Amino acid sequence: MLLQILSKLTSESLLSLYPIFVKKIGISSVLQLWTRLITYVFVAMFFVDWSFITSSIMSLDSITLALVNLSHIYFSYEGFRHLDSGVSFAIFNSYPLMILLLAGVVWHNSYLLAIIGLALFVYGNSSSINKHDVDFNYGLIMILLAALTEAFIYFLVRRVQTTNHWNHVFISYFLGAIIMSAYVAFNNIEFVNKTRIGLSMAINGIIGSVGYFLRFYSSYRLDPSIYAPLSYFGVVMSYVYGIAFDNETINWQKVLGTISILASNYFAK
């Protein structure tokens, strides 16, 4: 159990860098999406069980996982681009609650601490929120759809039954990589800044593929009642990264939100 929990916490630490990455990398959403898909598939192909891949990649569960994952990446990138990183990641982390609701898990009082912590993060960033702003409303819809599709991915990964989780990574991204490569080719998308595209691939390869391998590993092995509360650790790490890389400031709401989320993870175990 300890290894699965550590895998989940490490994955959240890595993947919570994405809101900063999406804003700072300086390439279009299309190229960000394409570089992520291509890189994940390239890294995963060295570790997959090819007999499993060939026998299962065209199954309904695998195709559904790939399409939901492609939609999820698009929604999350659009949400992160149109909202401040703290707000977007806090709202995105409503997905553990969606997992609990979809799984029909019996309510545990520790979940209330997570909700309070989430609300404090949003309130702590409320000065950047303009509810009448078109970008905010669009970003809000996108990030909520990203959260919903993230919840679906948890259940879909468990339906594709393999203990080699590079298989999950490959299956989740292969179809999307083909679709986006065709889109880039047919629309003559220009690779204007090759250095930034290369950097995007490197970051996706080092941080993203490993982070998702660990997330799939833990999602396959942890019950929703444990997996969902641990997901809030990513909110805490996004706050740390915001201070380190985006000059975000500390306020009492963020401090209390951090304490509340950490307490939720402790008492949910």
Q: Are 11 and 209 in contact (CB under 8 A)?
A: no
Note the pLDDT tens digit of each residue in 166-178: 999 999 999 999 9
Tokens encoding 31: 């190229």
Q: What is the mean pLDDT of the chain?
A: 84
Alpha carbons 56 and 102: distance in angstroms, whole number:
25
How many separate domains does the chain show? 1
Residue 194 lies in domain: 2-268
Radius of gyration (Cα) for the chain, nearest Å? Answer: 18
Q: Which pair of structure tokens corresponds to residue 147?
A: 């959260």
Q: Tens digits of per-residue pLDDT, 77-94?
A: 888 887 776 677 777 877
Sequence-separated (6 or more) residues with CB below 8 Å from residue 38:
177, 180, 181, 201
Taking 60 as the threshold, does the pLDDT of residue 132 lie above it? no
Determine whether 54 is exposed, middle or buried from the number of CB atoms within 10 Å of its CB (0-12, 13-18, 19+). exposed
Distances (CA, A) of 261 to 20, 25, 115, 157, 268: 21, 29, 8, 25, 11
Confidence at residue 170, expressed as pLDDT on a 0 to 100 scale:
97
Q: What is the pTM of this model?
A: 0.81
**Per-residue pLDDT averaged across 199-228, rounded?**
87
Report CA-CA distances (Å) from 193 to 17, 113, 189. Answer: 22, 44, 12
Work out the average pLDDT over 66-87.
86
